[in-house]
Amino acid sequence: MASQNPLEYSNLTHHAIPFDRITPELFLPTLREKLAQAKKQIERIRDHNAAPTFDNTIVALETAGEDVDLVATTFYNLLHAHTNDRLQQLAQEIGPLMAAHASDVLLDGKLFARIRSVWENRAKLNLNVEESKLLEKYYLDFARNGALLAEAEKAELRQIDQESSSLAPRFDENVLKATNHFSLHLTSSEEVAGLPEILLNAAAHAAKEKNLTGWLFTLHMPSYIPFMQFASHRPSREKMYRAYGSRAFHDDYDNQKLILKILELRERRARLLGYKNHADFILERRMAESTNRVLQFLARIENASLPKAHDEMKEIVEFAKTRGAPMPFQAWDFSYWAERLKEQKFKFSQDDLRPYFQLENVVRGAFEHARRLYGIVFVEATEYPVWHPDVKTYEVRDEKSQDFVGVFYTDFYPRESKAGGAWMTNYFEQGMFHGQVERPHVSIVCNFTKPTADKPSLLTFDEVNTLFHEFGHSLHSLLSRCRYRALSGTNVYWDFVELPSQIMENWITEKESLDLFARHYKTGEPIPSELVQKIKDSDRYLAGYQSLRQVTFAELDMAWHTTEVSQISSVPEFEDHVVDRLRVLPKVHGTNSSCSFSHIFSGGYGAGYFGYKWAESLDADAFEYFKERGLFNKEVAAKFRDHILSRGGTEHPMELYKKFRGREPDPDALLRRDGLL
């Protein structure tokens, strides 16, 4: 019989969450109850009569808040994947509750004294590698988050964390509402000239749902990106570009004040803890280790990317001129003319690829890669409850033994209740839970083109890339073989976490991989060899621009988190000050990227966005190993699984990488792959 409360540890198959019985009203009372229980557990650990040991202190703490984690994880995942007004209101209460609980634990001097005792006696404890890492994690989590402060400073830190806890959900809420607020309604054939049939069908369907004639376009990615690439009607491109670039900036959902408040609190917190700024605090626990090393890393890529990006932009502008494009060239012209030049250079367009990338086939292709590389299979399982009818569920099993590996959810289509972008998340982390080592429950959430009455969901190549990226994150969780949840799966340094995701993107430019799933949705014919070759030939197209774009975001992130907040008087002026020298397109007044930069202001990547490029340098080097030995080489795949995917954060990532590769990564691998050396 199912538990009365669907937010309890369920007795459904593999303890699956009964999403069909969850209502918003359950979250707050259940969370309060679980927090009270956790508090009693932690008090028992703190007041234990026996001398502190690894088991009675560290392991006990690791399991003390597991029911709190279940409720909070479910809440925040639904807040992003399927939100509503009530969940958004609850976020303003739940955030402070969770922050207060974290402060109560991390600032408890008596509890920290027990942890410190175990830490100082660690040499005598005969701990294995994973146990040693768990002890280090708990000691540093406490030491770096206020346990060593005086009481007055602890009170100030508690107040900062309380105030901060409600700001990230408000930032996200503003971005989502600003995104949903805008739509472009077009009614004449001139205004939609050049747009592919699949986009027109989706836009006509969207208009019909709103009782409108013509076509309705939105700022969600499946609508926005192809519109900017294919719409020949320049005034409409300008409207879309300005709307997208001004989300949560100078409107009803303005994030400017929130940004400054978030930065102020982060700076105060870092200084209270003895760091110069938030970046120094964050980077102490990253592979990169220091602000200077990050800035040097970014400068090296910038120096290689900026001249190349200027050359690429010059070529696009000259090409547009020869085709009679109005001048001066503007930012809303870039995607359109870049796509036209790509078509001429490589004799194909993004739309030529879509028929070969039916969503269901791409998903099966991702699963087949997991089978060939790591020996796991995905079997659709309809008995699991889901949070929305679009969600599909799979049981993951070892192909040979049929042992259970995990539960896998997919949620692919955009809706007004879902945040933009794509992400992977866990509902259950792999590791100890209620006294036994549990397997993970993993979800990927994306925003892909929805199927229509007469056409399935056909992905762009970029969307295929996104799916494989998020699937790589999923494999990191699904293949985890750790004992403790705090160290399992994706619980690694954030400049290492993108390695398992980004390496998966490499396979989809290889014919051997595409032949596994890229088939025409009508005829079933495999993707032609010449089209695969064109994908490979065009793989470095705009490599300088794309690299510079990521570097620009990373340098903007570092600037926000290394500059004294008192020196920042204006969000747009500060952003311009940082990025103007990196621009290869004219600035569009009235737009601002920081106000919708959820990664750094609400998504955990503050002072860490560089990690995407850092991990790219790792994945480029790692994939060279596969290419040397074979794309599906069992020995290399086993090394990657056993030393990277299965070990989570149980060792320093550089040690794990060296066990996989036999050496440290080659820093030139990324520039070599992108043709930027």
- What amino acid positions are annotated as catalytic residues? 470
Q: E-assigned strands of 334-439? A: 376-380, 392-398, 404-411, 423-428, 431-433, 436-438
* Residues 6+ away with beta carbon under 8 Å from 321: 327
Q: Respond yes or no on whether the N-terminal peptide bond of residue 226 is cis (omega within 30° of 0).
A: no
At residue 483, the 3 state secondary structure works out as: coil
Which of 85, 94, 128, 115 lies closest to 7 in space, CA to CA? 94
Q: How far apart are CA 58 and CA 434, in angstroms?
A: 16
Picking from 452, 461, 453, the residue whose alpha carbon sits closest to that of residue 413 is 452
Max CA distance (Å), the chain: 83
d(CA 675, CA 538): 12
CA 637 to chain CA centroid, nearest Å: 24
Three-class DSSP labels, 218-283: ECCHHHHHHHHHHCCCHHHHHHHHHHHHCCCCCCCCCCHHHHHHHHHHHHHHHHHCCCCCHHHHHH
Asked whether the beta carbons of 112 and 72 are under 8 A apart, the reply is no
Q: What residues contact 311, with CB distance under 8 A and at least 6 apart?
A: 544
Whether the CB-CB separation of 18 and 94 falls below 8 Å is answered with no
Q: Which of 531, 526, 509 is nearest to 349 (CA)?
A: 531
Inter-residue long-range contacts of 48-56, CB under 8 Å, 24+ positions, other chains counted: 48/114, 51/117, 52/114, 52/115, 52/117, 52/118, 53/118, 54/118, 54/125, 54/127, 54/131, 54/135
* Other beta carbons within 10 Å of 435: 8
